[in-house]
A and B are shown apart, each in its own frame.
Chain A
Amino acid sequence: MVIKKPSDIASSEITPKSTYVSRRKFITGAAATVGTALAGGFYLRNHLDSSTVHAGGAKLSGIVKSPFSTTEKPNSFQDITNYNNYYEFSTDKYEPNGLSKNFRTRPWTVAIAGLVKKPKTLDIDTILKLAPLEERIYRHRCVEGWSMVIPWVGFPLSALIKQADPLPSAKFVAFQTILAPDQMPNQRSRDVLDWPYVEGLRMDEAMHPLTILAVGLYDEVLPNVDGAPLRLVTPWKYGFKGIKAIVKISFTDSMPPTTWNKMAPDEYGFYSNVNPQKDHPRWSQAMERRIGEFRKRPTLMFNGYADQVGSLYTNLDLQKNY
């Protein structure tokens, strides 16, 4: 008598012919998809064209050129307004444009507070007339490892600071974004960030000619998605320093808290200067992907503005003060 060893494979585990045939089809199909995806990648590489039409916003007039502008080709209006972080609206970079469409930028006032001779509240339309509007084509480096070239329109922050007349004891400038949970969906949740968003600069950084308050993009009024009606731009620092929809600017004698630093102090420091030598726990900062380009390019010290701002940090250990 032949005693068969019981099979240790349950009948349910045995693959019928149709399955393994379909598995071969699967592998073929998978390979085809990979191939197609790669072909798609190459297609994109050649077709990442920046000129996309968009419905225009209100034009700004009397914009003067600036010697601080880079000669690099700016990214398209389409890319600048459809790929950015604005956590008050969404943590997704593609969503803020749509979600911020109806954000109200009028009436709008900015409170000047803290160590100033006369605290006051300025209307946005008064602020717009503080100084001639300049075009500032700046490199923009996000801490996440991507970058753009953005033609901002704005004026030096120093013009507003002079107007505010800070006391000699003022050593720092603190900025605050509007708190408007009725308009900014993510502000209804404490799980995202500690609202309102706050940022800060040292006084010499704030007075630096590269530092601007932006009110426009290309030759138009600043789109809501980019921080209308008033946002900070410090091109040698990571993008998150560029606080949006500012409602309060105050002068302090001690280093003000900043939102991302409160969130993760080991990842984001107060200075947040672009520094390819200072590795971020999540991303290498040595390289960046310029939006519209395929291969990454090396990141420059102070985002390429070392000649202008390097002297601000000569006595500072940039590995510790990141």
Chain B
Amino acid sequence: MKQLPEKYVRLLKLPAFVVCLGPAFVLTWKGFQGLLGANPIDVITRTTGRWTLTFLLITLSVTPLRRITGMAWLIRFRRMLGLFAFFYGSLHLVTYVWLDKFFDVHEMLHDIARRRFITAGMTAWALMLPLALTSTKGAIRRLGGKRWQKLHRLIYFSAAAGVVHFIWLVKADLRRPLTYGAVLALLLAFRILMWIRNRVTARSTAVRQAIHT
């Protein structure tokens, strides 16, 4: 695995952070310029939703990219990317709770129960919450690496719920949500292949050891 000197990783973090914040800045800037069109709340909802899914997929592509390219240092950016997915997801949720429903709890509960796309979206966000809360060094230590890793597999389910949320919400023309779905399927397929390969290697190692003893 290729390593990048620590100072470069640190140097890269700031620009990466700024780039990740870009969509939020563009949205805010457009808001101030009055460039969000006839229905600004609709644009804010869609933009934050799209970036949540995009960041989830980018986060999920870190491991495959690292394996394929051998650039081990990529892992150092994974947490930031994951937190950005949570950040945009939370903005998306705030937009719904505040700008769309105006804190009407009764109406929101009705929505969550009745409308499956809302149920899926809420699930996707709720699954990200424990991951964001346990993203600290202390949390990893308290949980222990193995358990922490197991917990953080929830991201697969969060991303899947996010794609389902998108599929269920469009009225017609599934091309856009299915594109996200296809990328997610590819990223998950990579993990399944890795898992199968690891099991085969482990078994053949065990067999070899059995022969030798």
Contact = CB atoms under 8 A, between A and B. Distances in A.
Contact of A19 (B27, B76, B91, B141): B76
Interface in B111-143: 111, 114-115, 117, 135-137, 140-141
A182 interface: no
Interface in A251-270: 263-264
A158 to B, nearest CB: 31
A9 B141 contact: yes
Interface in A1-56: 7-10, 12-16, 18-20, 22-23, 25-26, 29-30, 33-34, 36-37, 40-41, 43-44, 47-48
A43 B31 CA distance: 8
B150 interface: no
Contacts of A25: 17
A191 B177 CA distance: 13
Nearest to A292: B38
Nearest to A186: B173
Interface string B78-93: 0110010001000100
A296 B170 CA distance: 22
B94 A34 contact: yes
Contacts of A9: 140-141, 144-145
Nearest to B115: A282
A93 B144 CA distance: 49
A192 interface: yes
A281 interface: yes
A23 B32 contact: no
Interface stretch (B39-47, B54-62, B153-161, B191-199): B39-47
B37 A82 contact: yes
A94 interface: yes
B144 A8 contact: yes
A214 B162 CA distance: 41
A20 B137 CA distance: 8
Given A284-B110, A292-B38, 14 more contacts: A9-B144, A23-B136, A26-B83, A26-B87, A30-B87, A37-B44, A40-B28, A44-B34, A44-B36, A83-B39, A144-B171, A191-B175, A282-B169, A289-B39
The 7 A-B residue pairs with the shortest CB-CB distance in the complex, in nearest-first order: A40-B31, A83-B38, A15-B137, A79-B38, A9-B145, A192-B173, A8-B145
Interface of A: 7-10, 12-16, 18-20, 22-23, 25-26, 29-30, 33-34, 36-37, 40-41, 43-44, 47-48, 75, 78-79, 82-83, 87, 91, 93-94, 144, 146, 186, 191-193, 263-264, 279, 281-284, 289, 291-292, 295-296
15 contacts: A13-B148, A15-B136, A15-B137, A16-B6, A22-B80, A23-B80, A23-B135, A34-B91, A40-B31, A41-B99, A282-B117, A284-B107, A284-B110, A289-B41, A291-B38
